């Protein structure tokens, strides 16, 4: 009976720690998948923002404001009045497809990204308002002011896009950075069981990614094999 008690306690402790390390390995795999998905999303969003910034830089927005406002004033309020027709443009296709996974982005990245895409939505809504019949019936001064507001929103969009792009680039660099190795050779002190030696077990044919660690008491003589090979560190 004493012999059974002598090995039962250390064995149970060892089994408990094996389960703990297996759970830790499972959690690590979950985090790796989450990390890879977040990286894909951020790269796609950065590409979409870059495309939008490229499109905005193709035009002289202030010159467009002066030219269009002059046409509105020249046309007056009569039958020959000039009504601007801004194109329907949406630069948030990727964002809308991935909005359900926006929680994967880091806290410091979500804010500038959402501000940028909110600005895009507001620009699109303003363009639709200008194209509407209700806007065409407004007085010259009101139509001119509304179109000027649209151009002002487009002028501020590049700065917001650059901030979002910079935040995404910083987070992408963080996610792509190699993770520090957690299986370094160490000796740890357990508050109850005393000094521990770390063993690393690897199942046959699974390679290092399937490793899990088991701590056994330095005083215990247990050396049972878990998996197919036993490695000492």
For residue range 158-199, what is the model confidence (pLDDT) as tens digits?
Answer: 999 999 999 999 999 998 887 665 444 444 444 444 444 444
Q: Is the model's pLDDT at 77 over the cut of 90?
A: no
Task: With 0.85 as the threshold, say if the pTM is over it.
Answer: no
Residue 121 domain-assigned (yes or no): yes
Residues 55 and 155 in one domain: yes
How large is the average pLDDT for residues 37-46?
A: 93
Indicate if 155 and 103 belong to the same structural domain. Answer: yes
Asked if residue 225 and residue 131 are part of one domain, the reply reads no
pLDDT category of residue 86 using cuts at 50, 70 and 90: confident
Give yes or no: residues 221 and 130 share one domain. Answer: no
117 and 25 housed in the same domain: no
> Is residue 131 one of the residues assigned to a domain?
yes
Q: Say how many domains are in the chain.
A: 2
Residues 167 and 213 in one domain: no
In a domain, 18, yes or no: yes
Together in a domain, 93 and 164: yes
145 and 215 share one domain:
no
Enclosing domain of residue 81? 36-176
Write b or e for each residue in 212-228: b if 16 or more Cβ atoms lie within 10 A of its Cβ, otherwise e. bbbbbbeebeeeeeeee
The verdict on residue 16 lying in a domain is: yes
Domain C-terminal end among 134, 156, 176? 176
- Is 162 in the same domain as 88? yes
59, 150: one domain = yes
What does the pLDDT average to over 79-100? Answer: 83
């Amino acid at each position: 009976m004493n012999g059974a008690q002598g090995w039962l306690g250390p064995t149970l402790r060892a089994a408990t720690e094996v389960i703990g390390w297996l759970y830790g390995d499972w959690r690590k795999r979950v985090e790796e998948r989450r990390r890879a998905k977040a990286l894909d999303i951020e790269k796609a969003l950065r590409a979409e923002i870059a495309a939008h910034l490229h499109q905005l830089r193709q035009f002289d927005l202030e010159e467009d404001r002066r030219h269009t406002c002059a046409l509105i004033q020249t046309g007056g309020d009569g039958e020959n009045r000039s009504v601007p027709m801004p194109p329907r443009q949406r630069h948030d296709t990727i964002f809308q497809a991935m909005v359900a996974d926006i929680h994967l982005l880091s806290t410091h990245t979500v804010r500038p990204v959402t501000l940028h895409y909110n600005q895009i939505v507001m620009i699109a809504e303003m363009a639709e308002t200008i194209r509407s019949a209700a806007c065409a019936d407004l007085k010259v001064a009101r139509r001119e002011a509304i179109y000027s507001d649209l151009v002002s929103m487009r002028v501020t969009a590049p700065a917001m896009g650059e901030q979002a792009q910079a935040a995404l680039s910083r987070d992408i660099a963080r996610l792509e950075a190699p993770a520090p190795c957690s299986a370094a050779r160490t000796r740890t002190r357990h508050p109850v069981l005393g000094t521990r030696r770390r063993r690393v077990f690897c199942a046959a044919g699974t390679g290092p990614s399937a490793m899990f660690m088991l701590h056994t008491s330095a005083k215990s003589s247990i050396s049972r094999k878990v998996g197919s090979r036993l490695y000492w560190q």
